[in-house]
Amino acid sequence: EDKVVQSPLSLVVHEGDTVTLNCSYEVTNFRSLLWYKQEKKAPTFLFMLTSSGIEKKSGRLSSILDKKELSSILNITATQTGDSAIYLCAVERLQGAQKLVFGQGTRLTINP
């Protein structure tokens, strides 16, 4: 059975800290891994990773995929209270009508 596991499930840090969120997967016919941020209700797209070792970056957020270890990390540097959200990892399969398999999510809280 395909599985995506995120860790930690919950994280509380102070503003200015750097955080690393983890996502590991066991999925047949891997196509890509995606990260989403969910602040209130609707998750919004952050990154799509298809190639191992190539970092994707957007401001203070960055992410990288390790296909050998079947995992990805999402880094946030110099955190701000606006980074507080649930971060979702999802894996896309090559077959299966583009269905995504989601992890449980990491709830990140940034305290001022």
CB-nearer residue toward other proteins: 16 or 96: 96
Applying CB under 8 A, does 100 fall inside the site for other proteins?
yes
Find the angle CA(83)-CA(4)-CA(90) to the nearest 5 degrees. 55
Applying CB under 8 A, does 98 fall inside the site for other proteins?
yes
Applying CB under 8 A, does 74 fall inside the site for other proteins?
no
Helix, strand and coil percent figures for the chain, each rounded to 5: 5, 60, 40
Beta bridge partners of 111: 14
CA nearest to 90, candidates 38, 12, 13, 20: 38
Q: What mask, x for binding other proteins by CB under 8 A, covers residues 9 to 48?
A: x----------------------x-x-----xxxxxx--x
Binding site for other proteins (CB under 8 A): 4, 6, 9, 32, 34, 40-45, 48, 88, 90, 92, 97-100, 102-105
